[in-house]
Structure 1
């Protein structure tokens, strides 16, 4: 789960953010499996990007396709992950209420993060503020995996190993990937630093 970055607490917000995790519907046990990359995922993402933008209107800062379905050549769970950034996570009336009215349902409310999904549970929309480090991390990981074949293979092998195990819920599976994700992100940050230093 996401953690609050205390350096961002000076932001002007309409109200205090939530302080606890609310997992709407409680822990869920779902069948976990990977399928080969499907170009239709990009089409599905584009449909939901339009749906999100139409619902939230001017309250959108950015919408991005994240997660494994956004990486060509990477096997993934067939769940589209969308990242929506909004100016104020506490102003749920500006984004959450319109998205629920558009047919999404709330799954997670926690400090700095909301997650909604389709009733079919095949699309997850993660809502963050634009300067949340997690928002940058999602794009860093995606962009790195799109170009680094060795790390893409490592990540897929890790996922294939983990998905073969028995998990109480998807969050436990996601948490088990943390170590390899952090390892890959460290390499991606190092490559980004080197690329920036070459440009200066």
Structure 2
């Protein structure tokens, strides 16, 4: 979800399908099997979505070699009109995906797999969030100091319990902004 303003339980409840889910973040050291998990999911998504997916990219910490991560494969798909759920969501649901977030120009769907969960973020392909995800991922892949700084923050935050995973994500924003700035990102 876009983290442009401070989260509240009410604001989250309006966007989350199924409500808030208290959580404790469990991090794992980088697993070299994560890229293969992504590739398998991406191939399935290409089959399901065809030309409707103008972009499919591995994002999040599992996309960064050497980075500690929740063992969840995060994928962003560029869909021209993500708000038009009848155009693509039924086929994703038939494959086991469940809509978890509904907000303008963004849907997040979750797939529970035996080898670990997948989060699929659907945005228009040229959306600001898509560009931000890719710039952030590429910076972490390229810069060991930023990768280590981000890992340290994640480890510290994982020591806490969260009313919802989105609060954990929000707590990472100061270091994310700093790393994006190091990559030359301006909003």
Task: Give the structure-1-normalised TM-score.
Answer: 0.83
Aligned pair partner of 2:41 in 39, 42, 48: 48
- Equivalenced residue count is 176
Mapped partners of 2:105, 2:133: distance in 1: 15
Aligned counterparts, 1:26-45, within 5 A: 26-45=19-38
CA distance in 2, matches of 1:41, 1:172: 25
Give the 3-state SS of the residue equivalent to 2:88 in structure 1. helix
- Tell me whether 1:111 sits opposite 2:118 in the alignment: no
| Residue in structure 2 matched with residue 2 of structure 1 by the alignment | 2
**Kept in 2: contact 1:106–1:115 (CA 8 A):** yes
User: Quick check: 2:62–2:72 contact (8 Å CA) kept in 1?
Assistant: yes
**Misfit runs of 4+, over 6 Å:** none
> Of the candidates 162, 169, 172, which is equivalent to residue 167 of structure 2?
172
SS at structure 2 position matched to 1:130: coil
Q: 1:79 matched to which residue of 2?
A: 72
Partners of 2:24 and 2:3 in 1: how far apart?
27
Specify every segment of 5 or more residues in structure 1 that has no aligned partner in the other structure, as ranges. Answer: 5-19, 193-200
Which residue does 1:59 correspond to in 2? 52
Q: Which runs of 5+ in 2 are unaligned?
A: 5-12
Q: Partner of 1:152 in structure 2?
A: 147
Mark the CA change 1:21 to 1:127 in structure 2 (over 3 Å): closer, same or farther: farther
User: TM-score, structure 2 length as denominator?
Assistant: 0.88
Select the structure that is richer in strand: 2
In 2: Cα distance, 1:22 partner to 1:106 partner: 11
* Residue 3 of structure 1: how far off its partner (Å): 7.1
Is this contact kept in 2: 1:37–1:73, CA < 8 A? yes
What are the equivalent positions in structure 2 for 1:183-194 lying under 5 Å apart?
183-189=178-184
Q: Deviations over 1:161-180 (max 9, x none)?
A: 10111211211111100111
* Residue of structure 1 equivalent to 2:95: 102
Check if 1:182 corresponds to 2:177. yes
